[in-house]
Structure 1
Amino acid sequence: MKKNYLQKVLIFAMSVAIVGSVFTGCGKSQSSTETAATAFTEKDPKEYKGTINMWSFTDEFKSSHFIEKFNEVYPNIEIKLTVIPTDNNAYSTKLSSVLASGSGVPDVFTSEVANVNKYVNTDYYENLSKAPYNADEIAKSEAQYVVDLGRNAEDKSIRALSWQATPGGLFYKRSLAKQYLGTDDPDEISKKFSSWDSLIATGKELNEKSGGKVKLLPNYSEGFVVATGSRSHGWVENDKLVIDDKMMEFVDNSKKIRDAGIDAKFNTWSAPWSASMAGAVDGTNVLAYALPTWGLPYVIATNAKDTKGDWGLAKAPAAYYNGGTWLGIYGKSEQKELAWQFVKFFNSKEFQTWDMKTNGDFSSMTDVSKQFATTDDGKNDFAGKQNLAKTYNDIIPSITGKLVTKYDETLNSKFQSDLDLYVSGEKTKEEFLQQFKADVKTAFPDITVE
């Protein structure tokens, strides 16, 4: 999750190899072959003893003191954490290798939204719906889209759980909004961002009033997550490529944004993109960034420490989410009882309340998020005392987690890189579409492309 998530530069061929070799034949659920689960004996947390090997693509279990918090309750379970970054697909490659060989697989491993669908639809993740886990009881209290993303498509069992929901909006600089748009009120700014047409019109207004010194967005590509969040169809349905109408609207709007000169051409995760959060880069300021819940504490606050209080959160033209981290247990782990204590801990009300207060994450548990949304606990100092939890809670009901496919990691990357050729004028719209379809066919010969 966090800034490791959705790095734009992915190794395409490597992604293809992973999907083609590791996951072939692993799509069936475990329901027809699984053995009866060993019953667990409930104990005092201090009585659980042993070691769990864990792999993750994010270091938050250490940097955000998650493991320390766990060990306050379970002092005799040692967590051996291995962090493998997502850069150059290193995490997916290494994890896929050990899963395929069955040697050196960690007891617990995380997955992100780009690849969670791959793992929950194989036997690599343990079925947590069955006894003695009974994870569906936990799921009753959690955001629906988060639970859906952790389910096996065939038997509907829960294979992975997450402690966080990650709805997103547009974080904007209050001082720039006040100076050039006449208001920094989140509700008023949300009206200006309520549709692509109004968003683009606001960008033109901003450009004109600032003499071109303030751009609406760092890059047109900020809208990608908004577009994917507003779709009715995933990339692949019944083994056929589907390009949702909302994605084609995004294509047209991306071209309008670039042609109108209202994006700063700072690529996401680049040095200028990060630096622009703190102030002007080469004389150009940026008003707004499309980021989810973790964007403020882990991206903006990291890159722009001195801008505390100068941020607001507006709703985007469509509800969306971005990122997230799911925890699952390896199906052949010999430490399933200890591993379940670990996974269960992060899906407890106590941990998620602490995490929201301490780290600024947004809880997947509806009771916890509602508590913050309706009290001063949800007010955020970095966002000018705005109750961010209330805005997030308004967004979540419109989010669906059922559109993610095992192909997304590759197709998202190719769509964006191919689209850039059209937006920059190197290809026509028709040539862009032809290129994308050809890339899909090359990557996944099993998908029907028309």
Structure 2
Amino acid sequence: MANLKKLMAGAMALCMAGAMFASCGPDKKGGKEKQEKGSDNSANTIRIYTWNDEFKSRLRNYYPEYDKDKSGFSVDADGTEKVGEHEYLKDGKEIVWVTTPSADNAYQNKLDTDLEGQAKSSEKIDMFLVEADYALKYVNGPYAMPISDLGITDADLADQYQYTKDIVTSSDGVLKGVSWQATPGLFAFRRDIAKDVLGTDDPAEVQAAISDWDKFNAVAAQMKEKGYFMLSGYDDSYRTFSNNVSQPWVDGDKNIVIDDNLMKWVDQTKEYTDKGYNNGTSLWADQWSADQSADGKVFGFFYSTWGINFTLAGNAKSNDLYYVCPGPQAYYWGGTWICAAEGTDNKETVADIMKSLTCNKDIMLQITKDTQDYTNNKAGMEELAADFSSEFLGGQNHIAMFVDAAPKIDASKIGPYDQGLNEAFQAAFKDYFTGTVSKDEALANFYTKAKEKYPDLNTPA
């Protein structure tokens, strides 16, 4: 989610913090589904389903066939993008966005209903966006078109990171989506706090101090002694654990399986809460955001690509406050994939959008230069990493760190139920961390919520 920027392109600067951070992280804003007006003539419209504004911005700024003049596209001095009542491509096709917030599976529910009615509808869905936490649900279903059917070849996709293809490859080996971004994670730490507690803010030395979980926990104790928090809240390290599990959430018999690594997160977070190593916040909460500013007392935050240049930069409100390092464990967080809907009557346009935004090296390089979003092109990122400097990170070359981290990502344990189960697990154990319920009660509450969300799954008797 995801996803402003103390970047080099003013038009894209810090502007998208509110709209974009949720692209790769959960959308917590709520709200009703929004369909932006368009023609009912399906062949003359491109209807795109999404949950926030991130892909809209990518298409508006980087798809060569987007008609900025006819769409009334402009960017305010603060970077806020504006468009007219209708948006168009240069061939006259109108873009219709159908936007539904992702929280509590609302986006998936809307998408499921409309995809099911695709064959009979006069308003065809042409493209839809998915996240890693539920991509396989659509990839293994009947509604996402094979990429090869769009004329996009293996050669076109050769420079994309393999894990970004694995996430949208069906059980029978068919690729059904593409992404313009890769989302390896790092640990962003406060330079001033590092100097105070560890005696240095050199990223290599800080990394040596927190290179595994035992060292990380030891530094957490040092932070407490000096009046700081190691982490802001209960959820901050969750993705580092959840994206390093040894098995999927659900086995072949549809049994919910809680991986040992998830329970390690539970035990660590309970310890951090009880010992005052965290500040008792939750992701996206006001205090969590405030903890990232210079006034905060939190040492660091686990963030992937979008989080550093979008959310953290927006919340920090100043340059030179943070450096990044790999942290105790390699992980990824988030990402957005584009799928072509079966039944689209705009295959050529859909294919061109997907190919332009995910296979064109020049376009992807420009996205990274403008936004510091880490794009899904190995050659381009390696080229950029040779000489890159982030103004927000005090001149640090974090792109080089992402280049090193991205090949280590293992997405083999993802499944179609991940969003709902991850959300339910975190919510249930928050009550345990705060002392409202016991660990066993939290576990029972999780199973109850999981069964409500997914009645087809099995929970322990």
Q: TM-score, normalised by structure 1?
A: 0.83
- Name 1:429's counterpart in structure 2: 439
The equivalent residue for 2:178 is 161
C-alpha distance in structure 2 between counterparts of 1:346 and 1:273, whole Å: 33
Alignment of 1:362-377 (within 5 A): 362-373=374-385, 375-377=386-388
- Further displaced range: 409-418 or 389-398: 389-398
What's the offset of the Cα at 1:260? 1.5
Residues 87 and 174 from structure 1, CA distance in 2 versus in 1: closer, same or farther, beyond 3 angstroms? same
2:102 to 83, 86, 95: 86
Matching of residues 1-400 of structure 1 within 5 Å? 1-2=1-2, 3-4=21-22, 5-7=24-26, 51-63=45-57, 66-71=59-64, 75-76=90-91, 78=93, 80-82=95-97, 83-87=99-103, 89-102=105-118, 103=121, 104-130=123-149, 133-153=151-171, 155-209=172-226, 212=227, 214-238=228-252, 239-280=254-295, 284-305=296-317, 307-347=318-358, 348-373=360-385, 375-377=386-388, 379-400=389-410
Q: Is the 8 A contact 1:164 1:361 kept in 2?
A: yes
Distance 1:335 1:438, change over 3 A: same
Secondary structure of the structure 1 residue equivalent to 2:324: strand
> Across the two proteins, how many residue pairs are aligned to each other?
401
How far does the alpha carbon of each residue in 1:113-155 deviate from its partner, in whole angstroms, 9 at most, with x for none? 222222111121111134x5244333322111111011112x2
Contact (CA 8 Å) 1:50, 1:76: kept in 2 or not? no
Partner Cα separation in structure 2 for residue 137 and residue 403 of structure 1:
26
Q: Using the alignment, how far apart are the partners of 1:394 and 1:274 within structure 2?
A: 28
Show structure 1 runs of 5+ residues with no match. 12-48
1:88, CA displacement in angstroms? 5.2
2:234 corresponds to which letter in structure 1? Y
For residues 293 and 79 of structure 1, what CA distance do their matches in structure 2 show?
A: 32
Aligned-pair RMSD on alpha carbons?
Answer: 2.2
CA shift for structure 1 position 448: 3.3
Cα deviation for residue 225 of structure 1 reads 0.3
Evaluate the alpha carbon distance shift between residue 77 and residue 200 of structure 1 in structure 2; reply closer, same or farther with a 3 A threshold.
farther
Supply the AA of the counterpart residue of 1:402: S
Q: Which amino acid aligns with 2:113?
A: S
Maintained 8 Å contact 2:243/2:411: no
- Give the whole-Å Cα distance in 2 for the aligned partners of 1:76 and 1:166: 33
Amino acid aligned to 1:152: S
CA distance in 2, matches of 1:257, 1:174: 22
CA contact (8 A) 2:234 2:430 kept: no
**1:77 to 1:146, Cα distance in 2 relative to 1, 3 A:** farther
Stretch deviating more after TM superposition (105-114 or 141-150): 105-114
- 1:413 — aligned with what? 423
SS in 1 for 2:144: coil
Is the Cα contact below 8 Å between 1:293 and 1:361 reproduced in 2? yes
1:157-184: CA deviation from partner (whole Å, max 9, x where unpaired): 1111001000111111112211222111
Identity score, percent: 30
- Tell me the residue number matched to 2:458: 448
Whether the 8 Å contact between 1:215 and 1:287 is mirrored in structure 2 is: yes
Structure 2 vs 1, CA of residues 78 and 383 (structure 1 numbering), >3 Å: closer, same or farther?
Answer: farther
Deviation at 1:431, TM superposition (A): 2.5
For residue 304 of structure 1, report the CA deviation from its aligned partner: 2.4
Distance 2:417 2:223 in 1: 38
Offset at residue 78 of structure 1 (A): 4.0
1:50 to partner: Cα distance: 5.7
Mapped pair 1:403 → 2:413: yes
Give the structure with the higher percent helix: 1
Cα 1:376/1:332, change in 2 over 3 Å? same
Q: Secondary structure at the match of 2:235?
A: helix
Secondary structure in 1 aligned to 2:239?
Answer: helix
Q: Distance in 2 between matches of 1:78 and 1:384?
A: 44
Q: What one-letter code is carried by the residue in structure 2 that aligns with 1:60?
A: E
